[in-house]
Amino acid sequence: MESAHASDSARRLVVLAAVCMAALALPLAFSGGAVATPAIGRDLGGGPAAANWITNAFMLAFGSLLMAAGTLADRYGRRRLFAYGVAGFTLSSLVLGFAPSILVVDLLRAAQGIAAAAALAGGTAALAQEFDGHARTRAFSALGTTFGIGLAFGPVLAGWLIAQFGWRAIFATGDSTANMLLATWVAKSP
């Protein structure tokens, strides 16, 4: 019986760690694109409207699909939607680093916003399913804290990465392979 309890606790910690890692990466995408907009515009050209869509495409896709993603999480599985969202976010982040035009950046930012909505909706639903009572309060406190850290330090990190390595670096660091692997493991666990 103790081994089953230890196994449940370990699984819950892995779920919490995966969701918190995503919550740290997602705000970097919110703020990173906004901080990089002038550098992207200088490098790829495009007018002010195209440059505005670097941020708008992400935010509109994310905001408008967040509730729909919650419904999909209920229907198809919370962990599964979280894993697909993180995988899509990772893939779009990596491809953004190779975008040849501002139009491609804008389209990929919309795809990144869709994936971020899936990751956040699936992740928060998974936490609500895994934790009860005070443990749920602590789990969501950890989630809020990591999200806040990402929001607070995202612009600073994005600015530093742009200064050191160019704007493409912010998208290479938008999510990690470890996060994708954790999300995949979470999705496959019972």
Q: Each residue of 49-96: pLDDT tens digit? A: 889 999 999 999 999 999 999 999 999 998 899 989 988 998 999 899
Torsion angle, alpha carbons of 65, 71, 76, 79, to 10: 70
| pLDDT single digits (tens) 102-121 | 999 999 999 999 999 999 99
pTM for this structure? 0.86
Q: Say what the pLDDT of residue 178 is.
A: 46
* Domain ranges across the chain: 2-188
How many Cα atoms within 13 Å fall on the side-chain side of residue 162? 20
Nearest Cα residue to 79 out of 114, 117, 127, 147: 127
- How far is C-alpha 144 from the geometric centre of its chain's CA atoms? 14
| Phi/psi at 22 (5° precision) | -65, -40
Q: Say what the pLDDT of residue 73 is.
A: 92
The CATH homologous superfamily for domain 2-188 is MFS general substrate transporter like domains (1.20.1250.20)
Contact 53, 109 (CB under 8 A): yes
Alpha-helical (H) ranges within 45-132 are 48-76, 78-96, 102-130
* Distance from C-alpha of 98 to C-alpha of 174, rounded to nearest angstrom: 13
DSSP 74: H
Q: Say what the pLDDT of residue 60 is.
A: 96
| pLDDT single digits (tens) 134-187 | 999 999 999 999 999 988 988 998 899 899 999 998 887 655 544 555 555 555
Q: Which two tokens stand for residue 1?
A: 């019986």
CA distances from 33 to 4, 135, 156 (A): 44, 34, 12
* 3-class secondary-structure state, position 99: coil
DSSP 132: -
DSSP 174: S
Longest CA pairwise span in the chain (Å): 64
